[in-house]
Homo-oligomer: A and B are copies of this chain.
Amino acid sequence: MTLDVFRAVADPTRREIIGLLAHNELRLSDISGYFDMTRPAVAKHLKILVDTGIVRQRVQGRETLSRLEAAPLKQMSDWVSRFEHFWEPRLDALKTIVDADFEQEPKS
């Protein structure tokens, strides 16, 4: 029971799976075709991604389709964004520009 997004993303295989699912809905056997490891190994990685909510699955007959549900990755994005100004010193200025622009827009 991991449930931790950071831990889920720590593994390179899982990052690759996330990449694969970014644009396609795939079956387990499709995914495991990309990797040099057994299907149950990939299934375990996939399960971890499902447990953290990064991947969602739907069953269709004997197949299980997996698709990306990227929202939980926002946690990571939020955390790391606290440090962006370290390598992007113009970021403060940028933020000002964006904020100003958003204020101009009508409330939908």
Contact = CB atoms under 8 A, between A and B. Distances in A.
Interface of A: 4, 6-7, 9-10, 12, 15, 18, 22, 68, 70-71, 73-74, 76-77, 79-84, 86-87, 94, 97-98, 101
| Identical subunits present | 2
Contacts of A10: 4, 6-7, 9-10
B80 A68 contact: no
The 7 closest A-B pairs by CB, nearest first: A70-B86, A10-B10, A70-B83, A77-B80, A7-B10, A6-B10, A74-B87
Given A74-B87, A77-B77, A94-B101, 13 more contacts: A68-B86, A70-B83, A70-B86, A71-B86, A71-B87, A73-B80, A73-B83, A73-B86, A76-B76, A77-B80, A77-B81, A77-B84, A98-B98
Contacts of A22: 82-83
